[in-house]
Structures are given as structure tokens and as C-alpha cells.
Structure 1
Amino acid sequence: MSIEILPLGAGQDVGRSCVVVRALGRCVLFDCGIHMGYKDDRRFPAFNLLCRAAGSPGGGDLLTSSIDAVVITHFHLDHIGALPLLTEVLGYRGPVIMTVPTKAIAPLMLSDYHKVLSQRPIDDPIISHPTIANHNKTFPLMYSKDDISNSINRCETIGLGETLYLSGGCIQLTAHYAGHVLGAVMYSLRIFGDNGKQVAVLYTGDFNSTPERHLSAADPICSASSPPLLLPITPPEESMGDDGGGVEDMGEEDMGKEIGDEMGSEMGSEMGRKIGVSDRNRWVEVEGRKRRREGAREEGKDDQELRRGGGGGGG
């Protein structure tokens, strides 16, 4: 049994992260980002490669129908920037999975990017999009604000450690804490086929391997039954330039000192040491409250009783 991995973007580059995993007749698209270094169609993932892999002679409809699920790791634009194009322009209507923090922050990121681009001159606002199979259509270089809200409204959410079953139970998806930014997760994917056949892969997306004050390191996922690892990240020296040493390489003290030097005082160092409660802990706390509330409702307790502290369940 084989697993086909097809990068539609960010294969050896930073930007437009979009990786297709195909196995046992199923197709899962991990991330759907843009490349912010281009003003033309190269900012979008090469969706035409997916059509070729599916045997399509052309046409966006067959492109989107060949995808069983779209899974987003976090809210950075190089991972979500092309999502409105996929759902609102190309018409993908299957499930789109992301965490609650990602769904909350994604529209802010997309709207800000839309605002910035709308202020830049574009030589040809309408182009024939060569990365999309149907060459008879033309697409705008940027989606609309309505496209952003409509796209995000279609998204379903997944919690830390939660497992979802898609495509009639043929696709199993579990979210694991990744660090990196609030709401970022890695996904373990398992695809089930006929006669007991199954394949598995762990898609990391971007993750932190060392803890910081505001974000813990990614949860280790190591066991005898761990799936093969798909690690679609770019080394820091490639993403930060030849000199390396980008912000993500700094420890808390170094970052605090850097801020302090810029501010001409020790305030920056103090900020570096006193960032506050971990974003991860806050997220875990919110997830816990939500699950306790859902459990209490199942027991018949109303919202007033929950607000008085009678939520019960889960401690």
C-alpha cells in the first residue's frame, strides 16, 4: 500500500503551503496558503497538478470534487491565504477542518492581507490562472471580503486531542498540539480502505521544538504505532535569509534584550520575562470549560446553574 505525497506549493520554498496526501482512493489537502512574494498567479498553489494526478483533462469542478477534505494547521497566510479562492472561486464544498483559535484569527489575517493588497497597484487585475485546470476562466488576483467571511463560515472545528471521522468513516483525523502559534496543531491522518487496508501519516505543519514562556513545545508523538512523519517545514536559515538568526530562533531573554535595546530601557527585558500566562494553557482551559459545559448540558443543567458554578464534570 502506497501513500502519494504531492506538494502544490512550498515544496522547497516558503509560502503557499499546500500538500496533497492520496491513498486508498482518498485525497486530503493539508493547508491552502499563498506566496506573498508574488503579485501574479504564482502566489496560489499549483492546483493544476492535483487535476493531473486525478486524471482530469481540465476544469475546476473535477478538481474540487477529487478532494475529500481540507485540513488547516494554523492561521498564518502561507497556510490559509488561498482558502477563500478554493472555496468561493473554485467552488470546493467539502469539509474544511481547523481549530477554534485558527477559525477566530484567520478572518483577521485574511482581511488585513486583503486591505494591504487593495492599496497596491496591480498591472493586470484579471488574469488567466495557469495553475487552475480550466484555462477558459479568468480569476481575480484577489478574492473579496465577502469571499473571506463565507469561506471561514464553512469551516468546521476540531479540539486538541479530538478525533474526527470523515467520508463515511474512511478518514480519521486527530489534532495534536504543535506550539508555533495559538491554535496550531499537527494532524495524524489514518485512511481506511477495503479488506482491512489502512495507511497513516503524521502531518506536522509548523511546530516549536523548544518551549517558550508564551507557548509550550509541541507534544511528542512517539510510540511503536506512530505513523510515518510528513514534515513540511523550511529550516530557519532558509526562511530568515542567509544570515539566519530570525525572531523564532531567539530565546525569551534574547528577545527581551532586543526589545529593551530598541526602547532604550530595561522595559523590554522585563516584557520578555513577563509575557504572562501561556497561550496554550489558556486554550486548554477554554477547551476544558467548553467540554464541561457540554457535559453539564447533557445532564440537564441550564446556563444559569452553570454560571453559578454548578457545571460539574471534569473538575
Structure 2
Amino acid sequence: MAERLASADAAERRVAVLDLAESADQGAEPLLVGALEDRDAGVRREAAKALAQFDGRPAAEALARTLLDDDASVADAAACSLTEMKSPEAAKPLLALVAHDRAGVRGAAWRGLRNLRVEASLKPALKALADPDARVRREAVGVLAYLKNVATLTALTGAADDENFEVRRAAISALAFASSGQALDPIAKGLSDVHWQVREAAAILAGKIKAAGAAPWLVGALFDEAWQVSGKAALALGEIKAREAIHALGGLLSHPASNLRKDAVTALGEIGHADALPYLEQATMDADPDVRKIASWSIHRILSARAK
């Protein structure tokens, strides 16, 4: 194999790297690390991809260095492989890059650190929330989301007001470990955001943490211009069993988007109150078989509960 990796033919060297990747042999790791120095970008790219199967410091150090490769496709391959790392040993070489001059390198380092969940990344990630590059701020939020440390709640709440909508969306999603009271303000602001993806994230968060205090805003979100937001708001109202939303949810059963009608009947079933029965009966005649199925199941569930 060493001879093939030293071949004058770049195509032969690439095939050798692919064979090493398929072998799943631990002895292939140093050979693949060496291939990251190949003069051909295609060889380096395949080696970076192959190293995703090796979890530990040697591969992490080599891939971290490769984030600096002059060829963007090679650097991207290294960044993707680093996201597969699970060993805490991979954190040190990545933490060394979170202050790099190039924003792409900083962002890739944070993306690799996310799954590692190492406490050493907490303080640098908090600092990175002020990075001038929005992509870096978004990836730092992702690291904090995975750490789930209550000490980061204030910072994440602040990031929910970031000027970049992707950062705001990530920050709102990251608050899933907060209590309903702690997250109410970000939910309220998120549901009125100018970007529908942020509004959707806020509705999802409300349902996930069962933020009953958000019910009035969620009812308003049922009539959002983006049906995706309306659907997530409906499901959230079902999660918090908001009886006051039954009439508004019933009004969605005539919406042209069948996915939204499904979310509405699902929510009515989750609320489980008899006031929902007329709307569910209506939904049993829906044109979509999934809507009819969910409506029938929800009716059975409500009637069974009343019979007990």
C-alpha cells in the first residue's frame, strides 16, 4: 500500500486512499494522515474524508491542520470529518483554532467541538458570541446548546437578539434546556421575528418546553403567513394542552395545506377536550386520508377518556 501511495500517478494514489478507507483497518490511520500532505488536492480530500472513521487525537490533529488547506474542497472535507469525532481528545487541536484569523477556520473548529461537549469550550464559546462573522457566532451557539449549562442562559437569550437571523434561530433552539419561564421572552420575540425560520424555531421551542405562558402568542401564530410556522404553533398548543386554542385550531381545518390541517387535528387530539369534537368530526371528511385517520383516532381518544 505504501508503494501505491507513493505512485507518480495521482489517480493511483487516490484509489489507494479509497482502498484504505474501505479496509477499516486501524493501521490505515497513519497512512491516511500522511496522505493529507499529498501534492494532489483530490488525494488530500479523500484522505480527509476517510479519517472520519478514526476517533482520537492523531486524526483530529491532522484534520485540524487540514482546515488550513489552500484547497477549499479539502478544508471542507476535513471540517465534515471533524464533526464525526466523539473523543474528548479531539478538543485540544480544535480549541487552538477558535481564534484563527480566518472565519471559515474558526467556524469549522466550533462545528467540530459541538459533539465533543467538553467544558473547556464553554468560555471561548461565550466569547465567540461577539465574533464579527455570523457563521462563527452561529456555530458557537451550537456548542453552547450541546453543553446545556444553565450559566449560558443569559448569553443565549442575548444571542436570540442577534442581527443575523440564523444566529437568532440557533439561539432560540438552543434554549431547549431552559425552563418555560426563562424562555418566555425569547419565544415572544421569536414569534414576531421578520424571518419565518426564527418564528418557526420559537414555536417549536414553546412546544418542546411546554411553555403554557406562550399560548396567546401561539394562537396568534396560527395565522402566520408561513404555514410552517402555523403548523409548529398548532403542535405547540397541543403540547401545552391549550383549551383556549380549540376554536382557532378548528379554523385551520379549511386551510389548503394538508400538512397544516394534520397539525391542527393532531393538536386538537392532544388537547383532548370535548369542545374539540365538532371540529374533529368535520376533519373525518377531509380530502387527505392522514387527516381523516388522525381525526378518527383523536375522537376515539377523547370519547374513551370521557367514558372512564
Q: TM-score, normalised by structure 2?
A: 0.25
More helix by share: 2
| Higher normalized contact order (CA 8 Å, seq sep 6+, divided by chain length) | 1
More strand by share: 1
Between Structure 1 and Structure 2, whose CA radius of gyration is higher?
2
